[in-house]
Chain A
Amino acid sequence: MGYEIVLAASAIGAGLAVLAGMFTAVGQGFAAGKAVEGIARQPEARGSLMSTMLIGCAVAETSGIYGLVIALILLFANPFI
């Protein structure tokens, strides 16, 4: 019985951990929107704005990726069973 409870709780926990991606998406969308504003105002700065935005998005993505890694650990390398 205990084993099944741990399995079910791990699956629910994995699902909850992936929710970390929610606000990552909000942040990335905000960064992309601001980049579009910048490009619209100053089209010649497109290249440097683009690479700065991609780097910023990648850094913002880190917290979402942590949630994904925790979910994957719970699913495939569960330390509790």
Chain B
Amino acid sequence: MADELNISFYGYLFGLENLWFTETLRNIWIISGFMILVAVLVRINMSKWNPDKPTGVQNAVETVIEIFHNYVKSLMGDKYAFFGNWFFTVFFLILFSNLAGFVFLRNPTADITFTFAFSLSTFAIIHFSGMIIGGASYWKGFISPHPVMLPLNLIGDIAPAISLAFRLFGNVVGGFIIVTLLYNMAPVVIRLFIPVVIHGYFDLFSGALQAFIFLTLSMVFIRSKLPD
């Protein structure tokens, strides 16, 4: 059944026994290519920009960047606003991955390897930035309020990485399976109208919300390990 409907954890395309070229990889390349194309086009357009009189593309780009920057500053504070540079890219990659269902690509976020890649990079940022910027206060955090709490603190540090990955994966793969079941099983008449609602909820609303929540929770976790 899984082969017939193409609902599987890995959209297997071709490859060796343990080295697969999956649909996830192909779709990430398509999405990254799209994002690079947009970035290059904006950069070419930027040479014509006028700081005093913004028009067209400049307005849109500046608005997006300003909203994002203000949001990062409200969560991390002025001092650590530089983390926004990394999260801008991550946010838009996850957002476009969640929206990929609109153009009938398999969502890359419906693959647990993709979500774990990002949650583990968040995990690495949490701890390396804590070590480098926090120093002694980072190490003291493990034995606060009392050294007996050390095992609990260690579990509490590992849990965010797992819950971030599973939250994104579970939400997107649930929507993906429902959409795929609908396209494969529903009568043709229903297929004409219902998918609009389903795509609107699972891809647009849920996808954008999950990308936003991944961003927010990552920044909250990072901020909690940093000193004031």
The reply to whether A66 and B170 contact each other, CB–CB distance below 8 Å, is: yes
Residue of B nearest to A66 (CB): B166
Residues of B within 8 A of A74 (CB): none
Please tell me if A69 contacts chain B, counting CB pairs below 8 Å. yes
| A65 contacts B9, C-beta separation under 8 Å | no
A72: chain B residues at CB < 8 Å are 9, 170, 173, 177
Tally of contacts, chain A with chain B, CB under 8 A: 40
Q: State the CA gap A59–B209 with chains docked (Å).
A: 12
In angstroms, Cα B213 to Cα A68, docked, is: 19
Chain B positions 1-36 with a Cβ under 8 Å from a chain A Cβ:
2, 7-9
Q: How far is the CB of B45 from chain A (nearest CB, A)?
A: 32
Whether the pair B167, A55 counts as a contact (CB closer than 8 A) is no
Would you call A58 an interface residue if the criterion is a C-beta within 8 Å of the partner chain's C-beta atoms?
A: yes
Q: Would you call A65 and B170 a contact (CB within 8 A)?
A: yes
Q: CB distance B167 to A62 under 8 Å?
A: yes
CA distance A19 to B166 in the complex (A): 17
* Interface of chain A: mostly helix, strand, loop or mixed: helix
Is residue B153 contacting chain A, with contact meaning CB distance below 8 A?
no
**Chain B residue at smallest Cβ distance from A48:** B74
A65 to B209, CA, bound (A): 15
Q: Which one of B171, B173, B217 contacts A55 once the chains associate, using CB atoms below 8 Å? A: B217
A46-70 contacts to B (CB < 8 Å): 51, 54-55, 58-59, 61-62, 65-66, 68-69
Give 10 closest A-B pairs by Cβ, nearest first: A65-B170, A58-B213, A68-B170, A69-B170, A62-B163, A77-B9, A76-B2, A65-B167, A62-B167, A55-B216
Q: How far is the CB of B127 from chain A (nearest CB, A)?
A: 21
Chain B residue numbers with a CB within 8 Å of A76 are 2, 7-9
Residues of B within 8 A of A68 (CB): 170, 174
Judge if B169 is at the interface, Cβ distance under 8 Å: yes
List 17 A-B pairs, Cβ < 8 Å. Answer: A51-B216, A54-B212, A54-B213, A55-B220, A58-B210, A58-B213, A58-B217, A59-B217, A61-B171, A62-B163, A65-B166, A68-B170, A72-B173, A72-B177, A76-B2, A76-B8, A76-B9
